[in-house]
Amino acid sequence: MAVRENLGPTIRNASIEDQSGTVGLSEDGMVNQVVANKDEPPEESISVLTGSQLQDLIKEEALSLAEQVEQLGGELKDLKLDFEALVGTVTNQARLIKNLQNQDEKLGQTVLLRCQKIIRYINNRPDHKASLETLKGVIEIDNAKMSQTIVALHKGWSGRFVTRRIQGNEHKKELVQVKW
C-alpha cells in the first residue's frame, strides 16, 4: 500500500492506494473514493463524500460498535453466571454421587454382617434351618431389611441355602442350609 500526501498547515491533498483503488482528499475538502474494478464501468465506481459526511459516518459506526461491545459484555456476564451455576450444580451432583456410593458401601457391609449372623445361627442349629420370623428376631430387623438380607444370602452363597414354605403352615417360610 502506498501513501502519498502533501502536508501544509492542514491536509490539502492526500491519497491512499491499494489493490481495491484510491481514496483521496481534494483541496476543497471533498473525499473522493475511486474503486478500480475492471468489471464495473468507471461511472459506477466513484463516490464522493465531504469531510463532515465522513466524520458522521465514522461516528455512527463507532456508536454502533460501542453498542455491540456493551451488548456482548452483558451477554458475557450472563454466560459467566450460567457457568458458575453449572459448576455449582456439577459439584453438588458429584457430592451426592459420592454420598450414595458411601451409603451403598455401608449398606453392603451391613447386609454382609447380617448374612454372617444368619449363617452362624443356622450352623449352630442341629437341623440347619430356621424360620424367617425367628431370624428377624435374632438379628432384630424388619421385613424389608430381611428381604435384602435373604437376597444377598442367595447371591453370595449361591446353592448353599434354600427358602421354602414351612410344611403345615403355608404362610410362613424357612431358610434351610442344604450344604454345610
Report, as ranges of residue numbers, the positions in the chain whose pLDDT lies below 50.
Answer: 1-14, 35
Cell numbers describing residue 93: 451432583
Structural contact between residues 120 and 160, judged by C-beta atoms closer than 8 angstroms: no
- Report the pLDDT value the prediction gives residue 104, as an integer from 0 to 100: 66
Task: Just give the CATH number of 82-177.
Answer: 1.10.10.10
Residue 8 DSSP code: S
Q: Which helix (H) or strand (E) holds 45?
A: none
Q: What pTM value is reported for the model? A: 0.43
Enumerate the domain spans of the chain. Answer: 11-44, 82-177
- Report the pLDDT value the prediction gives residue 77, as an integer from 0 to 100: 92
Q: What angle do CA 118, 102, 96 make, to 5 degrees?
A: 140
Structural contact between residues 62 and 53, judged by C-beta atoms closer than 8 angstroms: no
- Report the pLDDT value the prediction gives residue 159, as an integer from 0 to 100: 79
- Report the pLDDT value the prediction gives residue 33, as an integer from 0 to 100: 54
CA distances from 111 to 35, 106, 152, 161 (A): 86, 9, 7, 16
- Report the pLDDT value the prediction gives residue 26, as an integer from 0 to 100: 57
